[in-house]
Structure 1
Amino acid sequence: MPLADLLTAERIVMLTEPGSRNHVLDAAARLLGGASPMATAAIGAALHERELLGSTAIGHGVAIPHARSNAFDSARGVFLRLGHPVDFDARDHAPVDLVFAMSVPMDAQQQYLDTLGELAERFSSAEFRDVLRGARNLDALRGVLMGVPQPTMRIMP
């Protein structure tokens, strides 16, 4: 599943203020829940509950918090690039600065597993992580994640 199928431009953000893992999970829940306080609360509780089972950090500064919730009929994702890396208790001890959080309906077990696998594979690429970290601004970051080709820099003689 392409990332653009899970994301909207509004759910791709750069968090600049320092925070904790709980702060990041709460921010992800707010973005995933949108205008629905009930959905935000349900997704937030599910993300925190899942994180208590074990860290969702996959290494190299990446975490993929995920949970199943019936807050919505389809899977949703959010991407956060953190200005201040956060300890997610990663096995490689690297603080996390790239977070892709998602919520998938309870009855979509196979989609849940497939999407997690695809995300882990995508974020295992050092080149992809470097592009995300090197995005100059929010528009460039959104372009990378939504599959919009980015203009290349040309050096004039």
Structure 2
Amino acid sequence: MKLTELFSTDHVFLKVPVTSREQLFAFLSERAGKLGLVNSQLCTKALHVREELGSTGLGNGIAIPHARVEGLEKVVGLIATLERPINFEAVDGEPVDLVMMLLLPEHSGGDQIKALSRIARVARNEAAVNALRRAQSVDEVTEIIEGVDEGL
């Protein structure tokens, strides 16, 4: 599974003006709903349920919220840079400004592990993370993701 398959250009959002994790989940769920991927209300609820198990804030300003969503046909990713960092109760206590969200079918099996593994590799790639934070266009984000894909 390639990152470019998860994060297509219409799944990239830059400088999102949210001030909380709740607003972020609502924003990304609404966008996924408008793309015809999921029911936005079910998506928001699934993200909150998953987050109650423990924060998906990895540290270093990065979060990878993920959830199984009813009615979803395939694994989908959305990526967002935030206008301002938000509290995410991350493991290092630092606010989050880069979000790579993963939505999974209810019965995704090994796809979840593959997708999370790919996203985690991006999160550990300091050059890619810094480039994503500086990106000014969706095309830039796509180029960065393609570059990471080539390096995997």
**Is the TM-score greater than 0.5?**
yes
With the shorter chain as reference, the TM-score category is 0.7 to 0.9
Matched pairs, number:
148
**In structure 2, what is the equivalent of residue 67 of structure 1?**
67
Q: Which runs of 4+ in 1 moved over 6 A?
A: none
- 1:155 is matched with none
Q: Give 2:55's aligned residue.
A: 55
Deviations 1:8-39 (A, max 9, x none): 21110113424101111111212222354961
Q: State the shift of 1:133 in Å.
A: 1.3
**CA 1:101–1:38 in 2, change beyond 3 Å: closer, same or farther?**
closer
Q: Which runs of 5+ in 2 are unaligned?
A: none
Give the C-alpha shift of residue 91 in structure 1.
1.3
Structure 1, unaligned stretches of length 5 or more? 149-157
- Kindly indicate whether the alpha-carbon contact (under 8 Å) linking 1:42 and 1:71 is maintained by their aligned counterparts in 2: no
TM-score (norm 1): 0.84
Question: Considering only CA atoms, is the larger Rg found in Structure 1 or Structure 2?
Answer: 1
- Whole-angstrom distance in 2 between the partners of 1:38 and 1:125: 30
TM-score (normalised: structure 2): 0.87
Partner of 2:94: 94
Q: Please say if residues 4 and 147 of structure 1, whose CA atoms lie closer than 8 Å, have aligned partners that are also in contact.
A: no
Distance 1:18 1:106, change over 3 A: closer
Task: Give me the identity figure in percent.
Answer: 29
CA RMSD of aligned residues (A): 2.0
